[in-house]
């Protein structure tokens, strides 16, 4: 009898977990108030909720899971600490360049982004993209951006006006490279978090347009990075892919 009761209890618990709903906190741009959707079991149900439907620009909308957010924030702090240690070991223009990148990253807010499409039409046509939601999430909405962001070892970092048809290299014109900067390749981080290396030197240039809301990251060259920091560019790019949209 005890075994039967234990089995029944276990099966009941499994059934409850299978039917458990998610809780999604919705954040809106330039607003302190949030909304909570607590009855969505799938992405399609979440995106059909009045708190979300037609209230965001889907290519840049971010959904984050709570445990992944803790990991992303830990990674973010580790990245800042590595930049600080490297800057402390350098001097002059090189130290100034590292500190400039450090100050840029200090303004970034990160979250445990889940890299999945939130376009309702995409999900409707592809049932496999309709992910199940279980647990706690945050959803960050935004309006369609009108700018792109320059980041990394470059003077005049920050937002610049997005222009249709404009090439990646065009956005870098007039922005001097800082000490140790990469000169041949930039990394474009799209609003959906996808990354792409783009040749931008005179000898390898390829015309690549960027979407509004993208980040153009100019990292440190391999010859400038000490051996213990050889992966620092990748670490910074990971931070930028997990940022909360402005």
Residues 6 or more apart whose Cβ sits within 8 Å of residue 157: 100, 104, 149, 150, 151, 175
Distance CA 236, CA 164 (A): 27
Lowest mean pLDDT segment, chosen from 7-11, 38-42, 80-84, 210-214: 7-11
Q: In sequence order, what DSSP letters do the residues of 38-98 get, joined into one string?
A: -S--BHHHHHTSTTTTTSS-GGG-EEEEHHHHHHHHHHHHHHHHHHHHHHHH--HHHHHHH
Identify the band that residue 20 occupies on the pLDDT scale cut at 50, 70 and 90. Answer: low
The pTM score is 0.90
CA 193 vs CA 23, 115, 202: distances in Å: 23, 7, 27
Residue tagged 């909405």 (tokens): 141
Catalogue the E-assigned strands of 103-238: 135-140, 147-152, 158-161, 185-189, 195-199, 215-218
Kindly give the pairing relationship between strand 147-152 and strand 215-218.
parallel
* Residue 166, both tokens: 């404009």
Joined together, the tokens standing for residue 159 give 């937002």
- pLDDT, one tens digit per residue, over 223-234 is 999 999 999 999
Residue 204's φ and ψ, nearest 5 degrees, are -130, 10
Q: What is the mean pLDDT of the chain?
A: 92
Digit-coded pLDDT (tens) for 202-222: 999 999 999 999 999 999 999
The whole-angstrom distance between residue 7's C-alpha and the CA centroid of its chain comes to 43
Fold held by 93-106+144-241: Outer membrane lipoprotein wza fold like (3.10.560)
For 148-183, the DSSP string reads EEEEESBTT-EEEE--TT-BHHHHHTT-PBPTTB-S
**49 to each of 19, 24, 39, 59, how far by Cα in Å?**
19, 11, 9, 18
Burial of 110 (0-12, 13-18, 19+ CB in 10 A): buried
State pLDDT tens for residues 44-98.
999 999 999 999 999 999 999 999 999 999 999 999 999 999 999 999 999 999 9
User: How do the domains of the chain map onto residue ranges?
Assistant: 93-106+144-241
Interacting residues of 48 by C-beta distance below 8 A, sequence separation 6+: 120
Structure-derived torsion over alpha carbons of residues 108, 111, 112, 114, reported in degrees to the nearest 10:
-90
């Amino acid at each position: 009898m005890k075994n039967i009761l234990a089995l029944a209890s276990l099966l009941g618990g499994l059934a409850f977990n299978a039917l458990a709903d998610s809780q999604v906190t919705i954040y809106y741009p330039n607003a302190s108030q949030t909304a909570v959707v607590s009855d969505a079991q799938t992405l399609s149900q979440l995106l059909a909720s009045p708190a979300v439907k037609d209230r965001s620009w889907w290519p840049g909308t971010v959904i984050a899971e709570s445990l992944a957010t803790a990991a992303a924030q830990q990674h973010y702090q580790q990245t800042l600490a590595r930049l600080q240690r490297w800057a402390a070991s350098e001097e002059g223009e090189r130290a100034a360049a590292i500190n400039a990148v450090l100050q840029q990253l200090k303004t970034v807010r990160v979250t445990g982004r889940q890299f999945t499409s939130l376009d309702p039409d995409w999900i409707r046509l592809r049932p496999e993209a309709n992910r199940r939601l279980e647990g706690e999430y945050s959803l960050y909405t935004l309006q369609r951006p009108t700018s792109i962001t320059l980041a990394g070892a470059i003077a005049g970092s920050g937002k610049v006006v997005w222009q249709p048809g404009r090439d990646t290299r065009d956005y870098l014109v007039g922005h001097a490279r800082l000490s140790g900067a990469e000169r041949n390749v930039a990394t474009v981080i799209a609003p959906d978090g996808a990354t792409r290396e783009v040749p931008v030197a005179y000898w390898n240039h390829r015309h690549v347009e960027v979407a509004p809301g993208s980040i153009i990251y100019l990292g440190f060259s391999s010859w400038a990075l000490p051996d213990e920091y050889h992966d620092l560019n990748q670490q910074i790019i990971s931070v930028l892919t997990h940022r909360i949209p402005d």
